[in-house]
Amino acid sequence: MPVPVTEAASPRRLIRDEVFFRLLDAIVDGDLLPGEQLYDAEIERWVGVSRTPVREALNQLAAMGLVEILPQRRTRVTPIEPERLRDLIATVGVLVAGVVRDATPLLTDVDRAALRAETDGDAAAVIRTGLSADGFLGIFLRRFDNGTVARLLKRHLPEMQRALNASRSGAAFTKARPAVKALIDAATAGKADKAGRAAMDLFDKALVTIADEFATSQKESR
């Protein structure tokens, strides 16, 4: 397992959190590839910690669907399965659409200005950044202020983001850009139902093409 080369663990984070976030970033960004085997000893040397926080982090990632642990056999980055990905995109889409619809009437002028700024940049950057707590989705989540939904999205969005980063084409980003614009235009205009429908389109009509792409690639490799 060729672990990424980064600096030692930050003293500002708990050790178990440091290991978790290092591994999460490496998996989502594609430094650790789908199907790649993970070895405790290598992770320990990389982050500079003992085995216990490594195991805790791997168990957290397994609960998120990003790591597969087979006791006494192997631990690896979970392969991307098209059907699971398609179901995940549909489920996350329903959650996000509900958040966008219900949070739209609660947006402030500052929120609306921040949302307009989110459409700047190339399509890939807009989508990659937008579907996180630091992007346009985070603005809606803060206004919606529902801890249960926020935790669900925090748990499941990384798996989808990983697939986006692993996509070989820009088709999903190209299709997603107009859906994001429609979502933000509707939300900043205070049209909650329209913003919710645009959010649903973002997942059902644009991001779902990632699952189709992986399904096609899987068939071609057989």
Ranges in the chain annotated CATH 1.10.10.10: 15-77
Q: Which tens digits make up the pLDDT trace of 97-154?
A: 999 999 999 999 999 999 998 877 777 777 888 888 788 999 999 999 999 999 999 9
Tokens of 186: 């509707």
**pLDDT at 44 > cutoff 80:** yes
Average pLDDT, the chain: 89
This prediction has a pTM of: 0.85
According to DSSP H, which parts of the chain are helical? 15-29, 40-47, 51-63, 82-103, 109-117, 123-130, 136-144, 147-166, 171-188, 192-201, 208-220
Predicted pLDDT of residue 114 = 93
Confidence of residue 1 (pLDDT cuts 50, 70, 90): low
Between 11 and 51, residue with greater pLDDT: 51
Tokens of 121: 């940049």
Tokens of 221: 């490799």
| Options 1.10.1740.10, 3.90.1150.10, 1.10.10.10, 3.40.50.300; CATH of 15-77 | 1.10.10.10
* Whole-number Å distance between alpha carbons of 51 and 57: 10
Ranges in the chain annotated CATH 1.20.120.530: 82-220
Q: What is the assigned CATH class of domain 82-220?
A: mainly alpha
Angle (nearest 5°) at CA 124 between 121 and 94: 110
**pLDDT at 9 > cutoff 60:** no
CB 195 within 8 A of CB 183: yes
Predicted pLDDT of residue 118 = 81
* Whole-number Å distance between alpha carbons of 49 and 44: 5
